[in-house]
Structure 1
Amino acid sequence: MDALLQGLQLVFNGQTLLVILAAAAFGIFVGAVPGLTATMAVALLVPITFYMDPTPAIAAIVTTSAMAIFAGDIPGTYLNIPGTPASAAYVGESSLLAKKGRARETLGTNLVCSVFGGLFGTIILVFVSPSLAEVALKFSSYEYFWLALLGLSSSIFISIGSKTKAFLSLMIGLLLSTVGLDMMSGAPRFTFGIPDLMAGINFIPVMIGMFALNEIMSFYGSRVEARTPPALSKDKVFGQVPSHVKRYWRNMLRGSSLGTLIGALPGAGADIAAWIAYAAGKSRSKDKAAYGTGHIEGIVDASSANNSGISGAWVPALVFGIPGDSITAIVIGVLYMKGMNPGPTIFMEGSGLVYSLFVVFFVANLIMLPIGYLAIKSSKVFILTPRKILMPIILCFCIVGAFSINNSITDVWIMLLVGIVAFILARCDFPMAPAILGLVLGTTLENSFMSSMLKSNGDLLSFFSRPISASLGALVILIWCSPLLVRLYQRYRAPHTNHTPRSS
């Protein structure tokens, strides 16, 4: 109770509430502009958080990400262009409903489902995280090694598209994580005689280059301009929402549950949660034929899932220090900079700060309702913002943000090089999430492996010597073997399903 009261005091003060309001406006604006993702918004916000106290800094990131995920529905509805990847799953349904004159009704439903999903995920986060932390206190380097491998493996198998490309993207991230001084010998690796690289590559310039600079280059490399949006509809924002909630409340619960569960898987994120929830909703629907024609049911599942996925991604980030998605990968770095070391001890060392984080989640999702309503009412302003004016301003923020971390021009060059590589990879349909997780988890993987080998005198079987470690190891190996097992099962089933009796 004392920790909860301390958390409430940290949040409900003038400075933190003002930061939440400013971050909400920033998140709504960035999310409503096509191509500017929630991760990009958080990456641009990080340099500013250096000058804040821990609670306002985390509050800014939580609020910005939640608002940006919802705001991505605005251009998706009016322009058929998802503002963030998390809105892509149901952008077809939203745009078709807008053509029927139901744009505001659609966005109102999106807003209520997003708030519900965010609150649902937050409740799960509050109750699950402390319980998991008690289990995590028993973890040693063996368990953390398997957890890191689980996160890296999940980023490949959950990613959409080619698994080979996801694996190669992961290898790039792991390669970047090896830059710096070797843990065992202290010898420099891949530093090329540059003193600034001795401490390794800072993940923030990489994040800015991989998302913000990549988007800028993609914009200027594309000749296609967004068309002028249609006239705004005159329907009421919340007019039909109560009837939709009454009819599809099971969809909201299912989407929120799936979103929280999938968000907690390392490497999944809100966009994959939305796709899976949309597919699950369609498979369980009594009106499957209506999907793809502008059906509100298809929006309820997915929009509940993407915001609950944000909360779910914080579970492994807080308890194990392993990011659930690219946003929490950035957050982990901010937590370290603020003296809050992610892991089970965070619930003991800074319990007041942890409870302030929980309170921020509730406040951020509740404040989404009035600010989201205002955004829907004035959505034409966001959609018509000229991107030719916006992109150079963002480029300036990228350069200043990368330089201000260590006051080093090396970080700016890292940002530029990573941005160019990310642009080329994106053109070839390489996913970015595995590369991010490779960079973030590479150090944990290496340190855990080397520590374990030292303790066991090089005995690899020691990784299976403890019950939790053996269970995690078996799970990882099962994930690795799953494609082969599925292929063998399909080959076994093929002769039976293809056999048809001859007609007499």
Structure 2
Amino acid sequence: MDAIIAALGLFFDLKVLAIIAVASAFGLFVGAMPGLSATMATALLVPVTFFMGPVPAIAAIVSCTAMAIFAGDIPGALLRIPGTPASAAYTDEAFRMTGKGQGEAALGAGLVFSACGGLFGVAVLILGAPVLAEFALNFSSFEYFWMALLGLTCAVFITPQSPLKGVIALLLGLLISTVGIGASGGYPRFTFGNTELTGGVPLIPALIGMFAMPEIIRFVLSDRSQLAVVQRQIGNIFAHQWEYLRRYRLNLLRGATLGTVIGAMPGAGADIAAWIAYATSKKLSRESAKFGTGHPEGIVEASAANNAALGGAWIPALVFGIPGDSITAIAIGVMFMKGITPGPMIFLNDPQMLCGVFIAFIFANLIMLPFGWIAIKSASTLLSVPRPVLMPIILMFCIVGSFASNNTEFGVATMLVLGIIAYLMEENAFPVAPIILGMVLGPMLEENFINSMQKTGGDPVGFVSRPIAGILALLTILIWTSPLWLRLLRGWRLSPVRAGE
């Protein structure tokens, strides 16, 4: 209790609150700018933290990150450009809601349920950090391999029409993920002598190109952009949220739980949490046919998951000093710089600092509501801009965001090439989202497969010899074979009827 009182005294200082407000506004701006990720926002804050105390420094990082993850939803819903990779899972869903005149409901759901998911994540962080961190540390390359396969299975569930086309798009994404230096031998693959490709196809330009460029191409070629149906300003974003809270309370709980658990696994993060939560929502929904047409259920679950993953990622960071994702890796560096060593002893040596982190998370998710409302209202003015003016502005943002990802023209070229590919695929009813999923999970799948094979000397039994790995393997195989089991079960139920006839 003394530590909590001391942390509150340090936290609720006028200077600290001003730092949090500025960091929150910065996070909203960076997250809403396509091509500038939450990790980049956190990295840009590090030089500023040199001049801060430990509590305001960590509070600034936590506030900036939470705001940036949510802000990625804004350009996704308005322009079909995911501001951050964590928003890509449900960008199409939110954009279609905006096209149906429900933009305020989509953006409000992203805001409210991001805050709810973030509060759930920090509650688990406060109450169950040691237990969850110990569970996360049991994961080796075998478990991560099955986790990656389980995540790739989402490609079938998030494809609204043809699962086969979803699998084809996923395989294309996995093929793109193999470009660059190989995980095993360190030999360049599919680079064609281009040094830029040795680092692989950059994800941020790919995201921008595959989601934004098709709309621009449609506008140029046929003037049929979906932005044409959006004819009014964004209204009251909180109008439908109480109804969503009642109707989708199970989705909120499930998404927040998934996000926290996945976030606690080192190397997973908010991106994977959002994809898995969206696919789970579609698979278990009673209205799965509505997914992909502008349905809020998947947005509720996925947006709760990606912000809950932020709290989850701090569990191994605080308890064992192992970063849960790239953002907590930066935060750990800042903590070391301030003379604080994360790990089990932080609970005894620096309880004020620990309580400061908890308070920062709670406060950041609470102020997300008013700050997010201001950001949405400011950004929604885009809808009143005439399309002949808006499209060049969108293209300019695409070029700037792609260039900023690695400060070379290669990012812009990647965006253009993949944008044209995405346009051709969408015109032939192939989904784009599974390509991004394959690019995100492909390196994780390959690296952990190779590491696991090296550990077992090529023996495949090792992949299921550990308890958690065996459970994940069984779950993955059951999901893959579920259509067959359902068909057999349906035939078994109908067979007595036929026998009676």
Q: What's the TM-score once normalised by structure 2's chain length?
A: 0.68
Q: For residue 249 of structure 2, what is the aligned residue in structure 1? A: 253
In the TM superposition, what is the alpha-carbon distance from 1:130 to its structure 2 partner? 5.4
Q: For residue 310 of structure 1, what is the aligned residue in structure 2? A: 306
Residues 447-458 of structure 1: pairs in structure 2 closer than 5 A: 447-458=447-458
- The change in CA–CA distance for 1:70 and 1:200 in structure 2 (over 3 A counts) is closer
CA offsets per residue over residues 360-403 of structure 1, 9 Å max, x none?
65444422433455578889745313343333233233323333
Task: Give, in whole Å, the separation in 1 of the partners of 2:459 and 2:343.
Answer: 34
Residues 157-236 of structure 1: pairs in structure 2 closer than 5 A: 157-224=157-224, 226=228, 229=231
Task: Give, in whole Å, the separation in 2 of the partners of 1:257 and 1:463.
Answer: 31
- The change in CA–CA distance for 1:269 and 1:402 in structure 2 (over 3 A counts) is same
Amino acid in structure 2 at the alignment position of 1:226: A
Indicate the larger mover: 197-206 or 109-118. 109-118
The answer on whether the counterparts of 1:117 and 1:308 sit within 8 Å (CA) in structure 2 is yes
- The change in CA–CA distance for 1:439 and 1:202 in structure 2 (over 3 A counts) is same
- The change in CA–CA distance for 1:8 and 1:399 in structure 2 (over 3 A counts) is farther
In the TM superposition, what is the alpha-carbon distance from 1:155 to its structure 2 partner? 3.4
1:383 equivalent to 2:383? Answer: yes
- The change in CA–CA distance for 1:110 and 1:180 in structure 2 (over 3 A counts) is closer
Indicate the larger mover: 444-453 or 114-123. 114-123
Task: Give, in whole Å, the separation in 2 of the partners of 1:413 and 1:73.
Answer: 25
CA offsets per residue over residues 4-41 of structure 1, 9 Å max, x none?
959969994644421312444677xx6xxxxxxxxx74
- The change in CA–CA distance for 1:461 and 1:276 in structure 2 (over 3 A counts) is closer
Task: Give, in whole Å, the separation in 2 of the partners of 1:281 and 1:434.
Answer: 17
- The change in CA–CA distance for 1:449 and 1:357 in structure 2 (over 3 A counts) is farther
Q: For residue 138 of structure 1, what is the aligned residue in structure 2? A: 138
**How high is the sequence identity, in percent, across the aligned residues?**
33
CA offsets per residue over residues 404-453 of structure 1, 9 Å max, x none?
34333323222221222122223333333322232222222112111222
The answer on whether the counterparts of 1:44 and 1:401 sit within 8 Å (CA) in structure 2 is no
Task: Give, in whole Å, the separation in 2 of the partners of 1:356 and 1:42.
Answer: 31
Amino acid in structure 1 at the alignment position of 2:189: R
Indicate the larger mover: 453-462 or 156-165. 156-165
In the TM superposition, what is the alpha-carbon distance from 1:59 to its structure 2 partner? 4.3
What SS does structure 2 have at the residue aligned with 1:193? coil
In the TM superposition, what is the alpha-carbon distance from 1:194 to its structure 2 partner? 0.9
- The change in CA–CA distance for 1:423 and 1:113 in structure 2 (over 3 A counts) is same
Q: For residue 70 of structure 2, what is the aligned residue in structure 1? A: 66
Amino acid in structure 1 at the alignment position of 2:173: G
In the TM superposition, what is the alpha-carbon distance from 1:63 to its structure 2 partner? 1.3
Task: Give, in whole Å, the separation in 1 of the partners of 2:478 and 2:230.
Answer: 50
Amino acid in structure 1 at the alignment position of 2:211: F
Task: Give, in whole Å, the separation in 1 of the partners of 2:234 and 2:456.
Answer: 67
The answer on whether the counterparts of 1:73 and 1:110 sit within 8 Å (CA) in structure 2 is no
Task: Give, in whole Å, the separation in 1 of the partners of 2:186 and 2:141.
Answer: 20
The answer on whether the counterparts of 1:169 and 1:434 sit within 8 Å (CA) in structure 2 is yes
Q: For residue 288 of structure 1, what is the aligned residue in structure 2? A: none
Residues 86-165 of structure 1: pairs in structure 2 closer than 5 A: 86-87=93-94, 115-116=115-116, 119-120=119-120, 123-124=123-124, 127=127, 131-165=131-165
Indicate the larger mover: 431-440 or 472-481. 431-440
- The change in CA–CA distance for 1:208 and 1:272 in structure 2 (over 3 A counts) is same
Structure 1 unaligned segments of length 5 or more: list them. 31-39, 76-82, 283-297, 322-330, 341-345
Task: Give, in whole Å, the separation in 2 of the partners of 1:413 and 1:398.
Answer: 11
Task: Give, in whole Å, the separation in 1 of the partners of 2:129 and 2:287.
Answer: 26
Q: For residue 433 of structure 2, what is the aligned residue in structure 1? A: 433
The answer on whether the counterparts of 1:125 and 1:312 sit within 8 Å (CA) in structure 2 is no
- The change in CA–CA distance for 1:484 and 1:320 in structure 2 (over 3 A counts) is farther
In the TM superposition, what is the alpha-carbon distance from 1:86 to its structure 2 partner? 4.6
Indicate the larger mover: 249-258 or 145-154. 249-258
In the TM superposition, what is the alpha-carbon distance from 1:146 to its structure 2 partner? 1.4
The answer on whether the counterparts of 1:144 and 1:445 sit within 8 Å (CA) in structure 2 is yes
Task: Give, in whole Å, the separation in 1 of the partners of 2:461 and 2:112.
Answer: 51
1:445 equivalent to 2:438? Answer: no
Match of 1:21 among 20, 25, 40: 25
In the TM superposition, what is the alpha-carbon distance from 1:485 to its structure 2 partner? 0.9
Amino acid in structure 2 at the alignment position of 1:254: L
- The change in CA–CA distance for 1:153 and 1:358 in structure 2 (over 3 A counts) is farther
In the TM superposition, what is the alpha-carbon distance from 1:354 to its structure 2 partner? 9.8
Task: Give, in whole Å, the separation in 1 of the partners of 2:410 and 2:180.
Answer: 14
The answer on whether the counterparts of 1:63 and 1:361 sit within 8 Å (CA) in structure 2 is no
Q: For residue 265 of structure 2, what is the aligned residue in structure 1? A: none
Indicate the larger mover: 160-169 or 5-14. 5-14
CA offsets per residue over residues 197-239 of structure 1, 9 Å max, x none?
2232332222222233344334444524635746998xx998x
How many pairs align?
441
Amino acid in structure 2 at the alignment position of 1:427: E
- The change in CA–CA distance for 1:336 and 1:121 in structure 2 (over 3 A counts) is closer
RMSD, matched Cα: 5.1
Structure 2 unaligned segments of length 5 or more: list them. 50-57, 80-89, 263-271, 290-294, 318-323, 334-340
